[in-house]
Amino acid sequence: MSFEKNILCIGAGYVGGPTMAMIAYKCPQYRVTVVDIDPERIAQWNSDDLPIYEPGLEEIVKTARGRNLFFSTEVEEGIRESEIIFVSVNTPTKTFGAGAGMAADLQYWDKTARQIRKYSESNKIIVEKSTLPVKTAQAMERILTSADNGIRFHVLSNPEFLAQGTAIKDLEDPDRVLIGSTQTPEGLKARDVLVEIYSNWIRRERIITSNIWSSELSKLVANAFLAQRISSINSISALCEKADADVEEVARAVGMDSRVGNRFLNASVGFGGSCFKKDILNLVYLCQYYDLKEVADYWEGVVRINDYQKERFVLNMLNVMFNTLANKRICLFGFAFKADTGDTRESPAIFVAERLIEEKARVVITDPKALKNAMKDLENIAGEISYVEDPYEASAGCSAIAVMTEWGIYADLDYKKIYRSMAKPAFIFDGRNILDHDKLFEIGFNVFPIGKPGLTHF
């Protein structure tokens, strides 16, 4: 069977896999191949046990796989046979040299550009899907065209805004799709090819175009703004706890101003996830690079408040539990960075667990999906940590419960039963404000929400 277009994606991760599955699902006329150098990951994509969990993903993969969606390790062949190549390799924060701890590590990206150059035998459109520092497209175009072999490459920026847990919904019905290109006639032509692909299922007015640098920058700024909202409300949560105000009431009153909007104003123990911190630090690094110190400091403040919030959470536990946590069993309800995912990258629970161990507490961790990752995250921490799937069993004998993740199941537990099984006095620290605090207080717990005065029996 012949296809209208051959599309390749290099990188079968959280972004590449679901995005390509959606394109293949919506556009049976295109052949879509996803390649990765990791054979284990590809084998998982070809199995019944996909490497990532996202509601709705399995159905669309099963419909398209083998029809017009293929997962393979044949990078060379994939490059040769496709006209459009999405690049979705990881760009972690650099851990060495200049910009360590801030700048993006572009080695996989650079290597991919060289691979594309080496194996290409015809003109290609290259689509940046990974989140990258501004002007990476230009660098890529330079690497690609340096072979001087007559092959033309057009690099587009098409950042992905999907959030984990809602990836399929976000891909199927996005707020917007952004495509950045150079403004030359050839650049615009390449851009229109990508517009046409998305137009198969997304309304044209939601597909916006811009120059390539605006597009690259928009991704960093979108994440910085979202994280900023959380740090803003978290900073106010500290004040509410002192001033007898309730942060949820404040957030509601502020969010009802339609200019502000009511989403992403839930105070918490802190934001996590693979993107927010990394992208803000990337933005900060970019500002420093251009000598914009005040701008860099401003955005760095978003990360500083997040660190402050996590530390504040632990210090509050220490303070109200009579200034010592040594030998006390403390149960963490949830370890994932948010509900409905097993992902623990940058989860505030990692920080809290480490700090509790420093205080010589005995930590018990429970989570419906993230226990395996939790074990990996904490494998080098010397201290008493145990992992228990059942929350009743996990909390039995503990002096405190700290809610780290807003899993729905934690709101529906039998807290009378839990209270009976715990050491007294029993404490609950609700890092996500998902529990019924008054009811817990009536049962006998000392309750400490985020951004509201604590309820104590002494």
Query: What's the CA gap between 458 and 453, in Å, rounded?
Result: 14
**Span of 21-29, 180-188, 270-278, 297-305 interacting with ligand UDX by CB under 6 A:** 270-278
Distances (CA, A) of 217 to 85, 158, 228: 21, 11, 16
What are the strands of the beta sheet with 427-430, ordered from one edge?
Answer: 385-387, 362-366, 329-333, 400-403, 427-430, 446-449
Of 194, 217, 186, 365, the closest CA to residue 287 belongs to 217
- Binding pattern for the stretch 328-357 against ligand UDX, x by CB under 6 A and - elsewhere: ---------xx-------------------
Tell me: does residue 16 bind ligand UDX (CB under 6 A): no
Angle between helix axes 348-358 and 293-320 (nearest 10 degrees) is: 50
Determine if 308 is a binding residue for ligand UDX (CB under 6 A).
Answer: no
Query: Minimum distance from CB of 79 to ligand UDX (Å)?
Result: 26
H/E stretch holding 229: helix 212-243
Taking CB under 6 A as the binding criterion, the range among 20-28, 112-120, 262-270, 317-325 that sits at the site for ligand UDX is 262-270
Residue 226 found at the interface with ligand UDX (CB under 6 A): yes
Indicate left, alpha or beta for 341 from its phi (over 0: left) and psi (-120 to 50: alpha). beta
Q: What mask, x for binding ligand UDX by CB under 6 A, covers residues 29 to 48?
A: --------------------
Say whether residue 275 binds ligand UDX (CB under 6 A).
yes
The window from 104-112, 239-247, 268-276, 317-325 that contacts ligand UDX (CB under 6 A) reads: 268-276
Position closest to ligand UDX via CB: 273
Distance (Å, rounded) from C-alpha 31 to C-alpha 24? 7
Q: Is 282 in the site for ligand UDX (CB under 6 A)?
A: no
Distance CA 65, CA 178 (A): 27
- Kindly give the residue spans of alpha helices, DSSP state H, lying in 244-273: 247-255
Which of 37, 139, 163, 221 is in the footprint of ligand UDX by CB under 6 A? 163
Q: Which of 33, 157, 232, 266 binds ligand UDX (CB under 6 A)?
A: 266
User: Minimum distance between the CB of residue 271 and ligand UDX, rounded to whole angstroms?
Assistant: 3
Residue 260 in the binding site for ligand UDX (CB under 6 A)? no
Catalytic residue numbers read 275
Nearest-10 crossing angle of helices 247-255, 212-243? 140
Q: Does 116 bind ligand UDX (CB under 6 A)?
A: no
Out of 268, 344, 366, 433, name the contact with ligand UDX by CB under 6 A.
268
Q: Is 108 in the site for ligand UDX (CB under 6 A)?
A: no
| Smaller CB separation from ligand UDX, 139 or 163 | 163
Kindly state the tokens that stand for 408. 């729905």
Q: Are 413 and 391 in contact (CB under 8 A)?
A: yes
- Spatial separation of the C-alpha atoms in residues 179 and 129, rounded to whole Å: 10
Among the listed ranges 29-37, 44-52, 155-163, 417-425, the one in contact with ligand UDX (CB under 6 A) is: 155-163
- Contact residues for ligand UDX (CB under 6 A)? 160-164, 223, 226, 230, 264-266, 268, 271-273, 275-276, 337-338
